[in-house]
Structures are given as structure tokens and as C-alpha cells.
Amino acid sequence: MAGKPVRPVNAIDQTRRMLSLVTYLRERPGARVEDVARAFGITEDELVSDLDVLPMCGTSFRGGDLLDIDTDGERIWWHNPAALGAEAAEPLRLAADEATALLVAARAVATLPGLREGDRQALLRATAKVEAAAGEAAGASSRLSVTFESEGGVFADVDRAISERRRLWIRYYSPARDEVTEREIDPIRLVSVGHTYVEAWCRRSEARRTFRLDRVAEIKILDEPSAPPEIELRDLSQALVQPAAEDPEVVVEVGPGGRWVAEYYPHDSADELPDGGLRITLRTPDPASLRRLALRLGRDGRIVAPSELADSARRAAREALAAYETAYEVGYDAAYGTGQGTGRGAADAGDAGAGVPAGADPAGGPHDRQEQGL
């Protein structure tokens, strides 16, 4: 299934799984391979590899009490369930990491704005029961927390449109061009990775696009049915948008105050500079969309290439400055000051904060494919 985390072959995870498996199989003679794999959230191949190991396990390899478990590929048979005493086959208590992983995730999903109320209530009930069953093991789960950002109203409309298979009309803000455009989309799924996005088939560009919910200025559920073409769902967790190899290259040099660029923009390389800065090479289908970045960087960095991009930022800055000079002429001076640079510099707002772009999170902005060719 797309988006499913890749599970590495790991002795700890496999042992954990096999321990639960013996408990599960003991109660269900002749269980179907397919059903067990689904119940355990693993592939049939993974299950079969567990079933290969189990006959080598038991309370002693000498006494002939190894687990006699086999499968004909369809059903699983355990010929000597008595080999394992009832006490060795009871469900095991949750480990601290297990309780943490499940509880932190459940709490995070429960706070997702726009989640259906029935599902939220089910999550909260389940969370309380798991907390109670985990006992002390649940204690450390408060040391980890996750917040998903979402626009509740937009989320609910998208969710409804998906389940009713209806088309959506949206007004959507593209930061790269600083414009709001209208389009009709056939929604496919909602993905929350920090922010929440809807992946959809865009009827305007006839292509797959992802839209960040907090950039949806307006939304309407249309009467037309949604009919997205069958497309392969990608794992969006690593990066929502991966630049293509044929995209033009942009080189940015930043000082220490501009290092955040490497944290927010997917890039090909980031080489250390002697002054504590970075030389960052990235690719984007539309370098002009990076003018915002050039303007924001100010004295913390500059565009090295392409030169048209650097020129356009310079032109924009000069044009903007001219407006202040005009304002001066018409008498804003007295009211608003001369605009003489105070060189406040970067505020030391704390260890993690300074330099984090405020307001608009540029991540994904200039690389959003949905902006391409619009």
C-alpha cells in the first residue's frame, strides 16, 4: 500500500511479532495465511518467514517440544499446541516504546482539526483504554508529542467530498507567484505531514497536484462526481515534491543567518563556507518563483545563479524602495519616519527560533508542482 512505512527486517520487531503470533495462532487452529497477515499488518511473505522460524522455537530444542507449526500456504496448523503452556501463550503487556508509539500517534491524530467527530471519540476512548492497560509503561509517552496543523473547515469539506466522491472547487493561493487562482479538483486523499495537504487530480492542469489546506482561500463541494484517473499513490512522507532532474539549477550562498534555507528547501547539496555559511544548490521547475527567497534573505544571502533571478530580485527591491521615496515626497516622512536603516540585525529570539521564517512557511512553496506552468 502506498504511504506505508517500509519495515526493515529487524530481529527485535520479528521476535515481538512472533510472540504475539503464537498467542494468536493458539486460539485459531487452521487460520488463513491471508487473514493472519492482515490482522498483523504484515505481508504474506513476512508471515511465511515467521512461520519458517517458529518450528525452531520452543522451551527446549532437545525435548521434542519445539513448536510444530506448519502451513500449506493457505492455512496454518499447529499440531502440538500443548508444547507451550498456557502461561507462555498469554497476551503480553505493552513495552514502554510500544505504549509511547501508539499513544503519541493516537493523541496526535485525535487533535487533527476537521477529523470526523465519531472517529475522534473512538480514538479518545481507545487511548484511555490503552493507557489503562499499559499502566506504568504509558508514563514516558507524555515526553513525546506531535501536532498536526490543518484547517478544520477545509479538511471536513475535502473529507466529505472524498467519501461522497464529489468534485471540489477551490480558490488556492500560490506563494511562488503570490496569486490566488480558481480551479476544480478531484480529491484523492488527505495527507498530514506537519501541515495537512490534499492530493488531487487538478482538472485545470490535468495533472496530479498537492494543495496545502491552509492555502485554500475558499472551497465548495460541487454536484459533479469526482473522477480522478487511476494513479499510483506515492509515499509523500519524505518530501511532498521532489524536484525533477531536468529542472533548472539555482545556486544560493547564505551566511550563518541564512542556514535555515537548507532546512526548508529540498536541495541537491549544501557545502559549508568558511564564514559559517552554506553554498546551496537546488533545482526548481520555475526559478523565478525563488525571487521571494532572494528578497527575504537580504544581507543573509544572495543568489549566485541564475543571474536573471538575482537581477529580478534586485529590480524588485529597487522598485519597492522607490515607493518609500515617493511616500517621503508626499509627506509620509513626518508621520512615519525616514526609513533610515537601523540595522537591527537578527533578533536573538532564542536558541531555535531566530531565522525560522515567520508567517509563511516557505517549505514546499517554490517547489510546489501545482505552481508549475500556471
Q: Give me 88's grid cell.
A: 507462555
Tell me the C-alpha distance between 68 and 56, whole Å: 9
Q: How far is the CB of 246 from another protein (least distance, A)?
A: 25
Q: Who contacts 314 (Cβ-Cβ below 8 Å, separation ≥6)?
A: none
Give how far the C-alpha of residue 146 lies from the chain's centroid of Cα atoms, to the nearest Å.
Answer: 12
- Residue 127: count other Cβ atoms within 10 Å of its Cβ: 20
Tell me the C-alpha distance between 363 and 346, whole Å: 21
Of residues 8 and 246, the one with the C-beta less far from another protein: 8
Q: How far is the CB of 340 from another protein (least distance, A)?
A: 6
| Torsion of Cα atoms, 24 then 93 then 3 then 269, to 10° | -140
Of residues 86 and 246, the one with the C-beta less far from another protein: 86
Q: Decide: residue 99, CB within 10 A, 0-12 exposed, 13-18 middle, 19+ buried.
A: buried
Q: Give me 197's grid cell.
A: 495537504
Q: How far is the CB of 178 from another protein (least distance, A)?
A: 6
Q: How far is the CB of 254 from another protein (least distance, A)?
A: 11
Amino acid identity at 111: T
Of residues 143 and 329, the one with the C-beta less far from another protein: 143
Of residues 205 and 332, the one with the C-beta less far from another protein: 332
Of residues 29 and 353, the one with the C-beta less far from another protein: 353
Short-list 297, 312, 307, 296, CA closest to 251:
307
Q: How far is the CB of 204 from another protein (least distance, A)?
A: 18
Q: Who contacts 183 (Cβ-Cβ below 8 Å, separation ≥6)?
A: 169, 170, 172, 202, 203, 204, 205
Amino acid identity at 133: A
Is the torsion defined by CA of 297, 356, 373, 246 positive or negative? positive
> Contact at 8 Å (CB) between 172 and 216?
yes
Of residues 19 and 246, the one with the C-beta less far from another protein: 19
Q: How far is the CB of 70 from another protein (least distance, A)?
A: 16
Rg from Cα positions in the chain: 28
Of residues 30 and 194, the one with the C-beta less far from another protein: 194
Q: How far is the CB of 15 from another protein (least distance, A)?
A: 4
Tell me the C-alpha distance between 188 and 168, whole Å: 11
Of residues 23 and 281, the one with the C-beta less far from another protein: 23
Q: How far is the CB of 282 from another protein (least distance, A)?
A: 16
